[in-house]
A and B are shown apart, each in its own frame.
Chain A
Amino acid sequence: MSSLPVLSPHRPEAPGRLARAREELGGWRLVDLLAYGAAWAAGLMLTFIALALLAFLAIKGVSFLSLDLITSRPEPGIDQSKTGGILDPIIGTFVMITIGIAVATPLGVGSALWVVEYGKPTWLARAVESAIEVVAGMPSIVIAIFGLALVQEHLFAWFSFTGEGGAVYGRSFVNAGVAMSLIALPLVFGATREALLTVPSHMREASYALGKTQAETIRRVLLPSVRSNIGTGMALGMGRIAGDTAIVVILLGASLRLQPLESADPVTNFFRGTGSTLTSFVYNNSPAGEGNAPDKAYAAGFFLLLIVILLNFAVSAVLKRGEDGPAK
């Protein structure tokens, strides 16, 4: 296969963009040119798909989204004009995010610190890394059914509703939240680990050379250094939690309304009860689910998208301020 003809050396002064491109690509093999074109096309296509999705959801969603919808509670019913709003799923989504990330962050940051800064014995550190990779690759529905089998044991009865005959229902905010943390954990762990590995060793040595212990070095030097990366990992993890459906359906119960437990403890009743999130609401109200309120499904889907996008903006804004300001 011959190469494309090279432009003549008598080039015009200040060649145009197209001419320059032709000259640059002139010496390429055809295979490379095809691959180059395909790569371009793939990129453009993905951008188009993303924009189309956003536009579709925005047009569909905005037309049904209203203040009334997001501030009123859902009602059971067949006619979608009478089934209320999406307040409960919104609350459910935020509670899921909060519990999940609150559990995942200390675990992820802690294990990353141990693996990178201590990591002895080496085989154990490698085992921890592999284990987290396995968790990262685990479909959330697998996590969910495993979690359900676990929390239906009587040992964990306190965390959810127990039926008259003593059967443990297993579905609650606490149980789903802990399962959700497994989705966010690898992201927090990975971001922290990568960041710690890029902190130059002379930074650690500078602290040791001042007579500081490893613990103090980690607390005062390393953690502030990787703070923004931890934030990024958290934001990614929160996005993943907000978007997960399998765990909500299996471990949260995906009940239309928030259903706090009815026990003597008013504080924990909410967390031991069931609820739904925007994802399960979208599923149940889509033509695939039983609710059959597609308008509300679009509105809820768009709202979910907004939450995730805003979450990312909020985190990057906070991080930016943290980097500029004095470290505390």
Chain B
Amino acid sequence: MPTTFPPPVRRITLDRTPTVVDPSVEPIRHTPVDRAHERGDQRERMTIDDLVVKYAGKPAVKGVTLPIRDQEVLALIGPSGCGKSTLLRTLNRLTELTPGATYEGRIALDGQDVRALPVTQLRRKVSMVFQQPNPFPMSIFDNVAYAVKEQSKRAPKKSALMPKVESALRRAGLWDEVASDLDRPALRLSGGQQQRLCIARALAVEPEVMLMDEPCSALDPKSTMVIEELIRELRKSLSVVIVTHNLAQARRVGDHVAFMYLGDLVEYAPAEQLFTDPRAERTREYVSGSFG
């Protein structure tokens, strides 16, 4: 596997910490949840069509075609450097910030090419949560309010922002814990709370799709459980694309799972099927822990 990928860049890096993967661990929850794809009523929110992403000419994602369906969770799995984070970051055009990164192919949001949308507007419709909880160095309220305020408009009063801030914090399941002290610096919260604050912030822009780049890998198991619960809840109102190294997590929260390897999409299938009856040999090896 190429170890120089992604290539070192000056300012924009992926900031990934190593993730321990133990695919032999059985998923904790065996009771099948209401999986959206089984209802068969969801339409495609985003479509990825023959997407190629290159860093300084070297392909990181090689011609991936994937649907992102409404009201379901798409989990991207694969070994480090397989291009899953790159794919995710291309969906809201964050890869454009990486010097030397280019992409071909078509990504559409509600049928419209994402390149045709103003990037600030796209990123409000396709918002993102990162691996490291990264609240801004301001109060809890200001963190969410920052997202609500729209570009180029005069800052509205605090009371005018409050309903939206409260609703975002409620959706992220954080309201009851922080309501009494919204002026507290966000960095004083625990890691799990910080990550839920980041989710609240991402929800405050009222997105249609939420991208999550290993949102639990820096968190303890209990906080992870809370966030997984939250993801299942969020799925009812928007699409979620989650990159994870944790196969059990992909199985627990994913409706569909896409397995990527060295930039290629190897297999895309409903979660249970991909883990219990994978079609590709590579997938079978990966989910059974032979490599990764």
Does chain A have a CB within 8 A of B132?
Answer: yes
Say which residue of A212, A323, A327 sits within 8 Å of B120 (CB atoms): A212
A202–B134 contact, CB under 8 A?
yes
Q: Which residues of B contact A323 (CB under 8 A)?
A: 185
A-B pairs with beta carbons under 8 Å apart, 20 shown: A200-B132, A202-B130, A205-B94, A205-B130, A207-B146, A208-B97, A208-B123, A209-B123, A210-B127, A210-B146, A211-B119, A211-B122, A211-B124, A213-B120, A216-B151, A221-B136, A221-B137, A326-B185, A327-B139, A327-B185
User: 9 closest A-B pairs (Cβ-Cβ)?
Assistant: A327-B138, A326-B139, A209-B128, A211-B124, A211-B123, A211-B120, A326-B183, A210-B147, A206-B134
Q: Which residues on B sit within 8 Å (CB–CB) of A207?
A: 136, 146
Residue from A202, A204, A205, A209 whose CB has the most chain B CB atoms within 10 Å: A209
The complex places the Cα of A206 from the Cα of B201 at a distance, in Å, of 10
Q: Which of B119, B120, B131, B146 contacts A202 (CB 8 A)?
A: B131
- What is the distance, in angstroms, from B263's C-beta to the closest C-beta of chain A? 22
**Is the CB of B287 closer than 8 A to any CB of chain A?**
no
A292 lies within 8 A of chain B by Cβ: no
Number of A-B residue pairs having CB atoms within 8 Å of each other in the complex:
90
Q: How many residues of B contact A (CB 8 A)?
A: 36
Identify which of residues 199-240 in chain A touch chain B, using a CB-to-CB cut-off of 8 Å.
200-213, 216, 220-221, 224-225
A225 touches B137 (CB 8 A): yes
The bracket for how many chain A residues form the interface is 20 to 34
**Are A200 and B134 interface neighbours, CB within 8 A?**
yes
B242 within 8 A of A: no
Which B residues lie within 8 Å of A221 (CB)?
Answer: 136-137, 146
The residues in A between 15 and 47 inclusive whose CB is less than 8 angstroms from any CB of B are none
Interchain CA distance A206-B132 in the complex, whole Å: 10
Q: Is A324 an interface residue (CB 8 A)?
A: yes
Name the interface residues of B8-31: CB closer than 8 Å to any CB of A.
11-13, 15
Contact A209 B132 (CB under 8 A): no
- 9 more A-B contacts (CB under 8 A) besides A213-B120, A225-B137, A327-B136? A206-B201, A210-B123, A210-B124, A211-B122, A212-B146, A220-B146, A221-B137, A327-B139, A327-B142
Give, as a whole number of angstroms, the nearest-CB distance from A313 to chain B: 23
Mask, B115-159, CB within 8 Å of A = 1, is: 000011111100110111010111101100011000100000000
In the complex, are the beta carbons of A211 and B136 less than 8 A apart?
no
B142, A206: Cβ atoms under 8 Å?
A: no
Contact between A211 and B128 (Cβ–Cβ < 8 Å)? no
Chain A residues contacting B185 (CB-CB under 8 Å) are 323-327
Interface SS majority for chain B? mixed
Chain B residues, Cβ within 8 Å of A224: 136-138
Q: Which A residues have a C-beta under 8 Å from some C-beta of B?
A: 200-213, 216, 220-221, 224-225, 323-327
Given A201-B12, A202-B130, A216-B151, does the pair A211, B121 have CB atoms closer than 8 Å?
A: yes
> Which residues of A have CB within 8 Å of B76?
none
Nearest-CB residue, chain A, relative to B121 = A211
B136: which of A205, A206, A208, A325 is its contact (CB, 8 Å)?
A: A206
Best-buried of B12, B92, B137, B184 by chain A (most CB within 10 Å)? B137
Q: Are B12 and A206 in contact (CB under 8 A)?
A: no
Please name the residue on chain B nearest to A201 by beta carbon.
B12
Q: Which residues of chain B are within 8 angstroms of A225 by Cβ–Cβ distance?
A: 136-137
Q: Does B198 contact A (CB under 8 A)?
A: yes
Min Cβ gap A193→B in Å is 13
B127 with A205: CB separation less than 8 A: no
Q: Are B120 and A209 in contact (CB under 8 A)?
A: no
Q: In whole angstroms, how far apart are the Cα atoms of A203 and B186 in the complex?
A: 14
Check if A209 sits within 8 Å of B94, measured CB to CB: yes
Nearest Cβ in chain B — how far from A211, in angstroms? 4
Question: Hey, which chain A residues are within 8 Å of B211, CB to CB?
Answer: 209
Chain A residues in 8 Å Cβ range of B202? 209-210
